[in-house]
């Protein structure tokens, strides 16, 4: 087994020497023997301890400081760390130094511990709006689906979202997702006490790379570092009254309601984020399948909207909405129960897997 593992690692690393352009990699945060570190993930199978490799590899020499954590890496990625990571991958080559591990030998932590701000986009797929009409029954504020079309009376939000002439879509809608709700790959989503209408929303997460305030659409993608996954857990049980409409704290922010990860894929390794396929599987059954091409508001538009409300910082995450196929809108509904296993996947970004447990 040791020989087979070493041979597999050698094959992976040999790609790093010859591949042009640079071998695709992902970035994650890991724990081993009580120590937390940022790692470079190759082939979803092995991890280079970035700080240890940086210290050990002196040919080529580097004056760049090793990242303290993922936020620091993101903030300095375009100021030397991108090139240094590529050097380290090449230098490791076909060997297996002591600072290279199998993913299975490490504890995977949330890739960003923790974002300063997490924003989620509500109902950003037309078909999802149509299916959620079943869930909204009795909500007098919007009882019927519009499939993303602007409801009567929609106008611009001055200083935040100016409606272009001929734009028939509704305005973007975002809500805060609490970083305190984050759990990592493989960690359990815990059903809240007394709450029986809990479901999933498999979403692409956009990771911000540098401070973004009042960003233009033409420049929006310059502020993206990469992509991760968020399973936007949702409690459809309501708050027992109708004060102020929807309660996004209850619906979205129970403990463990923000599975995030497993890794971050830098944006240069995703060919077209506007045409990225996704799937969600529950207990082996495919329940969601779609593509980001179905979005109502694109990734650049979401960055424009968010950055005109508050300044986004390196490591902040925008979860971009979910395609149709959620459980509460099905007939009969499919609601989560203890023992379920969720798998949220986006092409090129990875698969985020979490079990469901009782309160």
Report pLDDT for 25: 97
Report pLDDT for 127: 85
Q: Going by C-beta distance under 8 Å and a sequence separation of 6 or more, which residues neighbour residue 338?
A: 191, 356, 357, 358
As a whole number of angstroms, the distance between CA 226 and CA 217 comes to 17
Report pLDDT for 12: 43
Torsion angle of C-alpha atoms 332, 333, 336, 342, degrees rounded to 10? 90
Report pLDDT for 13: 44
Q: Going by C-beta distance under 8 Å and a sequence separation of 6 or more, which residues neighbour residue 164?
A: none
Give the pLDDT confidence of 9-52 residue by residue, as tens digits.
444 444 433 334 478 999 999 999 999 999 999 999 999 999 99
Which run of H or E residues covers position 88?
helix 81-92
Give the pLDDT confidence of 56-79 residue by residue, as tens digits.
999 888 999 999 999 999 999 999
Give the pLDDT confidence of 253-289 residue by residue, as tens digits.
999 999 999 999 999 999 999 999 999 999 999 999 9
Helix (H, G, I), strand (E, B) or coil at 173: coil
Report pLDDT for 245: 82
Q: Going by C-beta distance under 8 Å and a sequence separation of 6 or more, which residues neighbour residue 210?
A: 75, 78, 223, 225, 314
Q: Identify which of 326, 179, 322, 196 has the alpha carbon closest to the alpha carbon of residue 255.
A: 179
Report pLDDT for 18: 38
Single pTM value for the model: 0.91
What is the C-alpha end-to-end distance of the chain, expressed in Å? 40
Report pLDDT for 23: 85
As a whole number of angstroms, the distance between CA 45 and CA 183 comes to 21
112: left (phi over 0), alpha (psi -120 to 50) or beta: beta
- pLDDT, average across residues 306-310: 98
Q: Is the pLDDT of residue 125 over 70?
A: yes
Helix (H, G, I), strand (E, B) or coil at 218: helix
Report pLDDT for 144: 60
Q: Is the pLDDT of residue 89 over 70?
A: yes
**208, burial (CB in 10 Å: exposed 0-12, middle 13-18, buried 19+):** buried
As a whole number of angstroms, the distance between CA 87 and CA 58 comes to 10
């Amino acid at each position: 087994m040791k020989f087979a593992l070493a041979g597999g690692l050698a094959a992976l690393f040999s790609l790093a020497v010859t591949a042009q352009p640079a071998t695709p990699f992902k970035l994650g945060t890991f724990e081993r023997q009580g120590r937390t570190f940022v790692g470079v993930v190759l082939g979803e199978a092995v991890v280079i301890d970035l700080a240890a490799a940086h210290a050990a590899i002196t040919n080529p020499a580097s004056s760049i400081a090793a990242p303290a954590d993922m936020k620091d890496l993101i903030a300095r990625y375009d100021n030397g760390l991108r090139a240094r990571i590529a050097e380290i991958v090449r230098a490791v080559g076909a060997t297996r130094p002591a600072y290279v591990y199998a993913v299975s030998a490490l504890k995977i932590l949330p890739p960003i511990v923790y974002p300063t701000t997490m924003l989620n986009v509500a109902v950003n797929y037309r078909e999802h709006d149509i299916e959620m009409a079943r869930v909204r029954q009795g909500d007098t504020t919007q009882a019927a689906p519009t499939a993303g079309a602007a409801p009567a009376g929609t106008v611009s939000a001055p200083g935040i979202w100016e409606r272009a002439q001929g734009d028939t879509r509704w305005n973007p809608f975002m809500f805060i997702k609490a970083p305190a709700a984050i759990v990592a790959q493989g960690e359990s989503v815990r059903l809240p006490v007394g709450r029986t209408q809990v479901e999933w929303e498999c979403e692409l997460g956009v990771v911000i790379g540098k401070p973004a305030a009042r960003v233009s659409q033409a420049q929006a993608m310059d502020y993206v570092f990469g992509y991760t996954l968020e399973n936007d857990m949702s409690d459809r049980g309501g708050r027992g009254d109708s004060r102020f409409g929807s309660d996004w704290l209850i619906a979205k922010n129970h403990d463990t309601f923000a599975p995030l990860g497993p890794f971050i894929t830098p944006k240069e390794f995703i060919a077209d984020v506007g045409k990225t396929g996704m799937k969600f599987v529950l207990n082996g059954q495919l329940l969601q399948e779609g593509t980001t091409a179905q979005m109502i508001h694109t990734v650049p538009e979401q960055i424009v909207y968010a950055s005109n409300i508050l300044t986004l910082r390196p490591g902040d995450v925008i979860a971009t909405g979910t395609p149709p196929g959620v459980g509460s809108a099905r007939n009969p509904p499919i609601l989560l129960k203890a023992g379920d296993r969720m798998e949220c996947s986006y092409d090129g970004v990875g698969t985020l897997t979490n079990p469901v447990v009782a309160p």
